[in-house]
Structures are given as structure tokens and as C-alpha cells.
């Protein structure tokens, strides 16, 4: 039965989801950009790297992934024996859309002396065509381990790539993708907001364009922004990332004030991720009840994609030393 012709209004969704989670031996993983009610019912809420690690480690039989499709695919790549459900299969990502596998493959072939460092926000097929996957919290650590003269393609986020290039002094070839959410912050409105809250720092995600990052006091992944918001001495912090993360901040330090950075009209909801917002409690309930929609991957593709993800997990665990990996170790084997 599809959701459209179901009436779930009589159900206590929290209780039902909890019951099904136990019956199915399921773990609910959620990204910080999910609606507050989903974050609150999840077993674990985290950034992309933490969620990948959880998916790889869990001994649950079912992973209900409350995030977007590339995240649920990552869970399936790392835990193929588990059933992975995504409440709404249409929960995509503009970065993934910007990088079709055939175009990425052709680009790689034009630059055979470059390795591909690819942001986790991409399809399993693009992961399979990449050498090392990175997240915003692992990119710098991974770049630090590559020889300085290594030629690198960074895809698909040109803003994260540009930020990393500026920070590490590396000249990388950037794929021209953007996150439609972080792209919408307005520099003019941010300057006005800062003037209204003198002294309040700006914490920004590196998916923001450079003209926004130029005004930031702290740049990092969602987990890193959350840590800064909780631990820094400021009473008021301006948050330049998807605003649902503010829920965790308000729970952790209710005495502080967190203000979402504005879009062009100064007060819009345009910075809510439309893909993440597709997941609802109703769809999570149905996913746990029906064990659908499921993520399924071709085994050959999965194994190829796993190589680049495993490199990320290994290189972000601190066990590989600086400069340890050279071009020969990383050359893409097709
Ligand atoms: P992180 O949680 O890794 O910072 O990623 C942010 C994001 O945009 C996920 O889609
Ligand atoms: Fe993709 Fe941006 Fe949404 Fe993250 S916030 S899922 S990068 S569109």
C-alpha cells in the first residue's frame, strides 16, 4: 500500500516507530539536517563521516537512514548484509546531480595524471570512479597525507574544493558542482546581521561560497559547527548552514542564542534542504514497517565504490602517516 492512500492519523508515530525499531532490530541514523522530530527519535545523529562509521560498525539487521540517498547508499556499500531503507527515495542532492558518472569518467580520462578526491555527496557510481572519498570533516586530514606534487581532481563541490585549495595551498582541478542550500546565503544580508549582533561569531559550512566563508570565524562540518556553538564562549552565534542543526544546539545549550544566516530576502526558508525535508515521521514509520524503499546496489559497483570509501575511513582514522600514500598507491584502476 502506498502512502498516498493510507490514513495514519490515528497512530502514535513515536510509539509505533519505537516498537518497529525493536521488532526489526533496526538502528535509526539521522543527519543534523533532518526535522527535529526525526533527530529526536534517532539512535544516532551525526555528520557524514560519523554516520558512515556508524553504518559500518552497527550490528543491527536494518539501517533506517534518515538523510539523503548518497548517505543511505554509503551505508549499503559499507554494510551490504544489512537491509538499508531510506524513508523517501527521492531525497537526492544537488551535488550528486551535478556529477553524472559518464561525464565524470570522461573528465578523469582527460586528466590521467590526476587522482580523484571526491566528496561523499555523490552517487555510488561516481564513488566507484574515484580514488579517495572525503567528507568536510576528513578532507584536510586526507589532503595532508598526499604528496605535495600529487595532481588532484576535487569533485563535485567547487566551494569545498576551493576552500581546501586555499587552506592547504594546493592547486586542484575543481568540478563545478554546488550545494543549492549553501549557495543561497546572502553576503549583504549577513553583513547586516553581523552589524545587528556585534561580536557574534559566524560558524559556516565549507559548502558555502568564498564570499560567505570570508565572514566566518569558524569553518567546519556540521559536527564541528555544533561543537563550536556548544563550546565557544559566545552567547550568540550566527549559523551559516542548513538551519535544522540549530535544534541540537538549542537542546545542548538552551541559554545561548543561535541565529540562522539569511538568504537574499533576509528572512527566507530557502536554506532548508528540500531533499532532506522529504523524510517525515510517517515515511519513517512505513519504511520500518514495510522494509521499503530499500537501497540495492550491483555487487561489482559496490565493491569498486567501497575501495574509495575504505581509503577515507582508513586515512581519517589517523593510522596512515603524512605523505604515506603516493600516486602509485592511488592510481585509479578503472
Ligand atoms: P557534513 O554533515 O559532513 O558536514 O555534510 C553536510 C551536508 O551537506 C550533507 O549533505
Ligand atoms: Fe545536498 Fe546541500 Fe542538501 Fe546537503 S544540504 S543534501 S549538500 S543539497
Alpha carbon distance 173, 111 (integer Å): 10
Residues with CB under 6 A from ligand 1: 47-48, 121, 135-137, 179, 205, 207, 221-222
Alpha carbon distance 42, 144 (integer Å): 34
Beta bridge partners of 259: 238
Please measure the distance between the N-terminal and C-terminal CA atoms of the chain and give it in whole angstroms.
42
Alpha carbon distance 213, 232 (integer Å): 19
Is the distance from the beta carbon of residue 212 to the nearest atom of ligand 2 less than 6 Å?
A: no
| 3 state DSSP class of 257 | strand
Query: Per the structure block, which three cell numbers stand in for 47?
Result: 555528520
> Where do the DSSP E strands lie in 227-323?
236-240, 257-260
Cell 550545494 appears where? 179
Beta bridge partners of 118: 133, 155
Cell 566566518 appears where? 216
pLDDT (0 to 100) of residue 4: 59
Query: What is the separation of C-alpha 143 from the centre of its chain, rounded to a whole number of angstroms?
Result: 18
pLDDT (0 to 100) of residue 264: 87
Residue from 29, 32, 33 to probe ligand 1 pocket by mutation (most atoms less than 8 Å from CB)? 33
Cell 531533499 appears where? 275
| 3 state DSSP class of 72 | helix
Q: Going residue by residue through the chain, which has 334 residues, state the pLDDT in tens, using 9 for 90 and above.
A: 455 568 898 999 999 999 999 999 999 999 999 999 999 999 999 999 999 999 999 999 999 999 999 999 999 999 999 999 999 999 999 999 999 999 999 999 999 999 999 999 999 999 999 999 999 999 999 999 999 999 999 999 999 999 999 999 999 999 999 999 999 999 999 999 999 999 999 999 999 999 999 999 999 999 999 999 999 999 999 999 999 999 999 999 999 999 999 998 876 677 999 999 999 999 999 999 999 999 999 999 999 999 999 999 999 986 444 444 444 455 443 3
Q: What is the largest CA-CA distance in the chain?
A: 62
Q: Given the CA of residue 273, which atom of ligand 2 is nearest to it?
A: 3
CB 9 within 8 A of CB 16: no
Residue from 31, 73, 99, 121 to probe ligand 2 pocket by mutation (most atoms less than 8 Å from CB)? 121
Cα 31 to averaged position of ligand 2 atoms, centre (Å)? 11
The whole-model pTM stands at 0.94
Q: Given the CA of residue 70, which atom of ligand 2 is nearest to it?
A: 6
CA dist list (Å): 137 to 141, 143, 225:
8, 12, 10
Amino acid at each position: 500500500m502506498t502512502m498516498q492512500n493510507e490514513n495514519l492519523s490515528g497512530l502514535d508515530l513515536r510509539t509505533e516507530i519505537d516498537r518497529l525499531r525493536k521488532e526489526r532490530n533496526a538502528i535509526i541514523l539521522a543527519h543534523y539536517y533532518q526535522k527535529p522530530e526525526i533527530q529526536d527519535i534517532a539512535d544516532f545523529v551525526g555528520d557524514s563521516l560519523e554516520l558512515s562509521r556508524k553504518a559500518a560498525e552497527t550490528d543491527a539487521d536494518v539501517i533506517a537512514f534518515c538523510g539523503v540517498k548518497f548517505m543511505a547508499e554509503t551505508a549499503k556499500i559499507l554494510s551490504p548484509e544489512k537491509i538499508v531503507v531510506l524513508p523517501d527515495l527521492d531525497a537526492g542532492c544537488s551535488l550528486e546531480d551535478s556529477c553524472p558518472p559518464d561525464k565524470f569518467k570522461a573528465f578523469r580520462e582527460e586528466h590521467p595524471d590526476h587522482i580523484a578526491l571526491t566528496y561523499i555527496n555523490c552517487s555510488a557510481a561516481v564513488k566507484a570512479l574515484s580514488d579517495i572519498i572525503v567528507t568536510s570533516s576528513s578532507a584536510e586530514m586526507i589532503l595532508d597525507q598526499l604528496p605535495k606534487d600529487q595532481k588532484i581532481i576535487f569533485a563535485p563541490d567547487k566551494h569545498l574544493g576551493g576552500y581546501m585549495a586555499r587552506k592547504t595551498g594546493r592547486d586542484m582541478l575543481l568540478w563545478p558542482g554546488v550545494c543549492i542550500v549553501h549557495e543561497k546565503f546572502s553576503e549583504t544580508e549577513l553583513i547586516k546581521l553581523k552589524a545587528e549582533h556585534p561580536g557574534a561569531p559566524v560558524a559556516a559550512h565549507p559548502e558555502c561560497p568564498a564570499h560567505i566563508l570570508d565572514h566566518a570565524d569558524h569553518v567546519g562540518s556540521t559536527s564541528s559547527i555544533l561543537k563550536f556553538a556548544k563550546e565557544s564562549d559566545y552567547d550568540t552565534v550566527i549559523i551559516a548552514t542548513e538551519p535544522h542543526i540549530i535544534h541540537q544546539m538549542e537542546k545542548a545549550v538552551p541559554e545561548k542564542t543561535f541565529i540562522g544566516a539569511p538568504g537574499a530576502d533576509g528572512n527566507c526558508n530557502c536554506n532548508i534542504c528540500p531533499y532532506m525535508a522529504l523524510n517525515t515521521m510517517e515515511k519513517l514509520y512505513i519504511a520500518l514497517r514495510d522494509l521499503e524503499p530499500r537501497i540495492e546496489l550491483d555487487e561489482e559497483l559496490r565493491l569498486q565504490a567501497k575501495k574509495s570509501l575504505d581509503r577515507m575511513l582508513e586515512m581519517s582514522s589517523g593510522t596512515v602517516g603524512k605523505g604515506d600514500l603516493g600516486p602509485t598507491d592511488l592510481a585509479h584502476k578503472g
